[in-house]
Amino acid sequence: MDQKYISTLNIQQLFDGSNYIIPIYQRNFAWEEAQIVQLIQDIYDSETENYYLGSLVVFKKEINSKNYFETIDGQQRLTTLNILLSVLKHEYKEENNINYKGCNLSFYSRDISSKTLAALYDHGNMETSLIQDTAMINAYNIIVRKLFELFGNGKNNALQKFIFDLSSKVKIMRVEVPENTDLNHYFEVMNNRGEQLEKHEILKAKCLNVLSKSDDAENDRKTFSEIWEACSQMDRYVQYAYHIDYRKSIFGIDWDNLPQDFEEIKKKTISVNLKDTEGENDALINIIKKPEVDRPEKKGLEDDGQAQFTTVVSFSNFLLHVLRVSYGRNVQLDDKKLIQEFEKYLFEDNNLEEKIEAVREFGYDLLKCKFLFDQYIVKRAFRNGYDNWALLKLKKQKNENRGYYVGTFGEEDGSTFENKKLVMLLSMFHVSFPQTMYKHWLTGALNYLYDAEEQIQASNYIQYLEKMSDAFFFDRLNSIELDYFDIIFENKCNIQNRELTDEDIENNLNNGTNVQNFIFNRLDYLLWKNFEANIEKVSDRDSKYCNLNTNTFEFAFRSSVEHYAPQHPKNGLPAFSNVDNLGNLCLISRSKNSELSNYAPYSKKEHYYEQKTIESLKQRLMMCYLEWNEDTVNEHQENMITVLKSITN
């Protein structure tokens, strides 16, 4: 393509008055918390001179004598950037020095989306009939919460640096499709373009290249490649990801043991004589040429077909967690920096023998962590027509090369409640930190499991996870605000400061929609442990709502902070003076908040009673009050802060 069609723009230049329009064939704005938070965190973490957000593919056209860039690819980022700049305009007026000329994005035949985006720029997230696109409203609130998490009230140098970096250092490549382009053909090419080589595939090739120089290169490479391929299938248990002939050799007769080191795995691997040696020669060029492999039932990798799993982390991110656990160092959990982080620890400063040994040791640690991950980290499981959070281990069927799943600490040892408690704890952490990167809780859990010297006991694992929850709350909420790495590795999750000042509470708990998801989810877990006792603390109870069943409650990706007594009541009634206090807040789904946002508490209670659904245990407790007024907000606030400040183990 001619260079005249390509422009590298900073954000200031991107919004210089150019107008963008989203064609009707594009999907609606669909980014949720994980993608939005990730974008902001990436900009915040960037240490390079220029940070590239990728490309924006456009087609220049004239509409009503005005030039527009019809956006073919990149609309989700463009929409999010528009909303981010609107947040900075309204929530951080004094600090914002970006010369933003106004909302420059609209949508073909989608008046609600166009008007909502423009109104967010003009008014912020205020009560106005123009703001109706719930996905954009949710994005605005998510950005507000994330910026508050990073910068507090904003009167600091960190926010000034973020705004400067955003306006000048962050770059996007705008690619104009030439006028004579056959757009139908172009769309077809875009929709059928091949996948690029992923970073973890490049990393594998680098590791195999190191092992090609070992004294036992052929067997080292074969063993490492088998480990890598098995572990990369994050949605399958590692035993099933190995060829059926390897399972007994590597994992023992019942598939539940792990060899002691890489050398032992190698001996067990080479003892199996397979005709299929795919993976032995995985140099980079062979990986590139290799066709996509079908699900390999035909190669002896069949599983029981009774369960489908959705993992909590991608393979690239999992590799970084394993590297962190292996070295106990502050590895960045950013898969864009996957190669750089491994260069630091495996390749850079070591001589050849040290590099070879480092790759071997990492290969073993990878298999060990995946073996532990499968059994002891929560996953989404679809079994027997139901989809739920699960903590399962694989058991081999007697006299068969097949297995089945049972609770990791399940029925066989009588500790089903402990298994349920672990499911609640782990899913609580996962939904609190939905972005694919920076799942520090996962590092903490894997580090505990990896270091366990004896068989892992449910009670000890629960105690550790509750201890980590306490440390994340106390040592992140107060003015010290320790780094997650220090909390997990340096302090072993021992709380450094249990004191929460009135200022800490005011800034972090009585802060409306800025209250962090983790605080609400931690509170729901603590309430779940002893819900009936907390009902007893309600001074004037409504028996009708107190008897609602809470057994079906589970943690989900709820991201919308609801004001139980609304900020903008219907019929012109005044809002409570303590409307933004934690006592008046709960975390629910975006759709419910949009549907019921301005209704009175009694109407909300009736709705949920008819639906027989509970989105939040804190919300459920608020519904137990016979009346909801400023006094009951204060009472509930005091009770909830007492619960939050309790040590869980």
Note the Cα 458 to chain centre separation in Å.
Answer: 25
| Domain annotation covers residue 401 | yes
Q: How confident is the model at residue 600 (pLDDT cuts 50, 70, 90)?
A: confident
| Domain annotation covers residue 446 | no
Is it the case that residue 96 has pLDDT exceeding 80?
no
pLDDT of residue 649: 62
pLDDT of residue 5: 74
User: Using one digit for the tens of pLDDT, what is the confidence trace for 101-113?
Assistant: 777 888 887 888 8
Contact present, 485 and 330 (Cβ < 8 Å):
yes
Mean pLDDT over residues 485-502, rounded? 91
Q: Does residue 112 share a domain with residue 226?
A: no
In 30-111, which ranges are E strands?
51-63, 66-73, 105-107
Q: Hey, what long-range contacts does 608-611 have (CB within 8 A, 24 or more apart)?
A: 608/548, 609/544, 609/545, 609/548
Q: What gap in Å lies between CA 564 and CA 614, rounded to an integer?
A: 14
Q: Does residue 109 share a domain with residue 233?
A: no
pLDDT of residue 413: 46
Cα angle 394-398-402, degrees, rounded to a multiple of 5: 50
pLDDT of residue 372: 97
**Domain edge (last residue) among 165, 191, 217:** 191
**562: helix, coil or strand?**
strand
Q: Hey, what long-range contacts does 43-52 have (CB within 8 A, 24 or more apart)?
A: 43/162, 43/165, 43/166, 43/170, 44/150, 44/162, 45/332, 45/334, 46/165, 46/169, 46/170, 49/169, 50/169, 50/170, 50/171, 51/165, 51/169, 51/170, 51/171, 52/171, 52/172, 52/173
| Domain annotation covers residue 316 | yes
Q: Does residue 506 share a domain with residue 383?
A: no
Higher pLDDT, 449 or 107: 449
Q: What gap in Å lies between CA 82 and CA 43, rounded to an integer?
A: 15
| Domain annotation covers residue 514 | yes
**Domain edge (last residue) among 147, 168, 191:** 191
Higher pLDDT, 145 or 630: 630
Mean pLDDT over residues 48-57, rounded? 85
User: Using one digit for the tens of pLDDT, what is the confidence trace for 170-202?
Assistant: 999 888 887 766 655 565 555 555 445 688 988
Higher pLDDT, 198 or 583: 583
pLDDT of residue 380: 92
Q: Does residue 183 share a domain with residue 304?
A: no
Q: How confident is the model at residue 402 (pLDDT cuts 50, 70, 90)?
A: confident
Q: Does residue 239 share a domain with residue 118?
A: no
- Greatest mean pLDDT among 4-8, 24-28, 486-490 lies in 486-490
pLDDT of residue 194: 47
Range from 263-272, 444-453, 535-544, 610-619 carrying the lowest mean pLDDT: 610-619
Q: The domain containing residue 79 runs over which residues?
A: 3-191
Q: How confident is the model at residue 99 (pLDDT cuts 50, 70, 90)?
A: low
Q: Does residue 307 share a domain with residue 248?
A: yes
Higher pLDDT, 605 or 155: 605
pLDDT of residue 151: 86
What are the distances in angstroms from CA 87 to CA 83, 94, 132, 144, 178? 6, 12, 17, 7, 34
Q: Does residue 146 share a domain with residue 42?
A: yes
pLDDT of residue 24: 77
pLDDT of residue 130: 72
| Domain annotation covers residue 17 | yes
pLDDT of residue 370: 97
Q: What gap in Å lies between CA 178 and CA 38, rounded to an integer?
A: 32
**Domain edge (last residue) among 191, 214, 240:** 191
Cα angle 29-32-33, degrees, rounded to a multiple of 5: 150
pLDDT of residue 2: 57
Q: Does residue 187 share a domain with residue 83?
A: yes
Q: What gap in Å lies between CA 440 and CA 637, rounded to an integer?
A: 29
Higher pLDDT, 212 or 543: 212
User: Using one digit for the tens of pLDDT, what is the confidence trace for 270-323?
Assistant: 877 554 444 444 555 555 544 444 443 334 445 555 568 999 999 999 999 999
Share of the chain above pLDDT 90, in %: 39
What are the distances in angstroms from CA 462 to CA 227, 419, 459? 30, 9, 5
Q: Does residue 557 share a domain with residue 524?
A: yes
Share of the chain above pLDDT 70, in %: 87
Alpha-helical segments (H) within 152-198: 157-164, 183-191
Is it the case that residue 227 has pLDDT exceeding 60?
yes
User: Using one digit for the tens of pLDDT, what is the confidence trace for 555-574?
Assistant: 999 888 989 999 888 777 78
| Domain annotation covers residue 481 | no
Share the mean pLDDT of the chain: 84
Contacts of residue 361, Cβ cutoff 8 Å, sequence gap at least 6: 262, 326
What are the distances in angstroms from CA 302 to CA 229, 298, 299, 364, 482? 15, 8, 8, 24, 46
CA torsion, points 58, 64, 65, 69, in degrees to nearest 10? -10
Is it the case that residue 362 has pLDDT exceeding 50?
yes
Is it the case that residue 625 has pLDDT exceeding 50?
yes
Range from 273-287, 288-302, 449-463, 484-498 carrying the lowest mean pLDDT: 288-302
Q: Does residue 162 share a domain with residue 295?
A: no
pLDDT of residue 186: 60
Tally of structural domains, the chain: 3
| Domain annotation covers residue 209 | yes
Q: Does residue 334 share a domain with residue 219?
A: yes
pLDDT of residue 294: 41
pLDDT of residue 188: 56
Mean pLDDT over residues 132-156, rounded? 85
CA torsion, points 329, 333, 337, 338, in degrees to nearest 10? 80
Higher pLDDT, 614 or 191: 614
What are the distances in angstroms from CA 369 to CA 92, 314, 492? 43, 14, 19
Q: Does residue 639 share a domain with residue 595?
A: yes
| Domain annotation covers residue 462 | no
